[in-house]
Structure 1
Amino acid sequence: MFIKHETLSCILLIVAYVVINSYCIQNFGLADYRSTLINTLISIFLIWLIIKLGRVRYYGLVKVHAPKKYLYFIPLILIATVNLWGGLKINFTVGETLFFILTMINVGFIEELIFRGFLFKMMAKDNLKMAIMVSAVTFGIGHIINLLNGSDLIPTLLQIFYAVALGYLFVIIFYKSKSLVPCIVTHILINVLSIFNANTNNTSYLIPLFIIIVSVCYALYINKKVKVA
């Protein structure tokens, strides 16, 4: 049924995830055990679905061959550290921090699978360029839901812009290497380390700019230097 109605299935997956995760944020917060439990169940469901479809490799859950071609993903490491630039701050209790980290691990995994794995692979069969663009843009636009969750306008707009750039980089890595693992790991690290962000004004605009520049430049480098695996 999933393969027969793949387009509809992908759309429903994305809509369901956005609605469910928004509900969790609004009603429980990301540092609550209920958000962790719900997102963990979504992750388990997606893993079961991928195994059931026999598409583990198809959706990129494999290691990267020849990482040297990708400069050993050093730019991704730099991007993953941005939340530590303004210093470290413990914003929650030990229990809340644990649940936040577990939730963010699931969120990074889920979002890479549905935006890069399911959505991109579904569209790439018919139009590769459109698939790349849609995967990147929808990932960025999806963050507009944060406005409904109480975030301020300007920070949310900045987040949308750098999420589009990051989404573009991730989809290029997935397309070229056939592995989603580097994207999942980086996404998880960005999310997890956000809990220790001191939120200083000195880095509030520098970080989005850095992510955009590094993401676009790294993606262009990979696009030019690396052949499709």
Structure 2
Amino acid sequence: MKKLYEKNELTFALLWIVVYCVLQSLANPLNKRIGIGYSASAAFCILQAVILIAFIRKNHLQKRYGLCKLPVPACRFLYYVPLLLLASGNLWNGIALNYSLPETICRIVCMLCVGFLEEVIFRGLLFAAIAKDNVKSAIVISSVTFGIGHIINLFNGSGMELVNNLCQIVFATAVGFLLVTIFYRGGSLLPCILVHSAINTLGTFASDAGLTMEMRLLHLGALIAITVAYTLILTRTLPEKAKKIHK
């Protein structure tokens, strides 16, 4: 794994993306066979997270991929209040117990790991690999790839409907631009991991009772508006290059 990383960091990042997507696709039928939702998904995520953490620590890449303390004061990020709003978005319509206890536990574990994996893979590995040559391309590619990557939910047996998936892609793309801005200009991936994990995890307890399609779209529109506004504020108030990507 180290040889591939040293030979071509971009190929290494793309390989991680492919493996992640394949394993999560394979996990869905396994979840059904086991009889506990997200059980196999959680196991695969834990395995990948452990391997990735071990690789980063062994090769002293924590700072490169933002697994370090934030060097920029929290006030420069408006004390992350917009991130708290985004994280709570799934609970705006109320709280519900949607799954059995074993499935709830597996889903929470899975979602926490997904937040870590997707941030390190897309905002860390992929962004850093491309940013060595072109930061603007890295921002666009890592964000759009992250958003479009959610289309896999249409084909991996998750049961997600087309309209819901398209909404997920749009929101994920917007969030992708926000989180890569926080990482690049702030120098730490930790806020991104925390908010991503919180959004995913709190979705476990989201209540859809009484929500019409119009209400869903208004909800999505509000979240996207917060995301875009916060991204624009950060790009105008933070230094152009708070984080330097070394070649």
Of 95, 114, 124, which residue of structure 1 is paired with 2:121?
114
For residues 125-155 of structure 1, give each alpha carbon's deviation from its aligned partner in whole angstroms, at most 9, with x where no partner exists. Answer: 1011000000110010000011113211111
1:212 pairs, out of 208, 221, 224, with: 224
- Partners of 2:10 and 2:31 lie apart in 1 by 31
Deviation at 1:211, TM superposition (A): 2.0
Q: Tell me, yes or no, if the aligned pair for 2:150 and 2:169 is still in contact at 8 Å.
A: yes
1:95 is matched with 102
Counterpart Cα distance in 1 of 2:220 and 2:141: 21
Q: Among 175, 189, 195, which residue is 2:198 paired with?
A: 189
Deviation per CA, 1:153-196: give whole Å up to 9, x if none.
11110110111000000000000011001110000001101111
List runs of 5+ in structure 1 lacking aligned partners.
none
C-alpha separation between the residues in 1 aligned to 2:39 and 2:126?
Answer: 29
Q: Secondary structure at the match of 2:90?
A: helix
- Partner of 2:97, secondary structure, is coil
Identity over aligned pairs, percent? 40
Q: Secondary structure at the match of 1:3?
A: helix
Aligned to 1:58, the other structure's residue is in SS state coil
Residues 61 and 181 in structure 1, CA contact (< 8 A), matched pair in contact too: yes
2:6 matched to which residue of 1? 3
Does the 8 A contact of 1:136 with 1:167 survive in 2?
Answer: yes
Paired with 1:143 and 1:222, the residues of 2 have a C-alpha distance of: 25
Task: Determine the C-alpha separation between the residues in 2 that align with 1:40 and 1:121.
Answer: 23
Q: Distance in 2 between matches of 1:25 and 1:106?
A: 16
SS of equivalent to 1:38: helix
Of stretches 5-14 and 24-33 in structure 1, the one that deviates more from structure 2 is 24-33
Contact preservation (8 Å) 2:30, 2:40: no
1:77 aligns with 2:84: yes
1:31 positional shift: 3.4
Amino acid at match of 2:91: L
User: How far apart, in 2, do the equivalents of 1:167 and 1:210 lie?
Assistant: 16
**Alignment RMSD (CA, Å):** 1.4
Amino acid at match of 2:179: F
Q: Does structure 1 conserve the Cα–Cα contact (< 8 Å) formed by 2:28 and 2:38?
A: no
Counterpart in the other structure of 1:43? 49
Per the normalisation by structure 1, the TM-score is 0.96
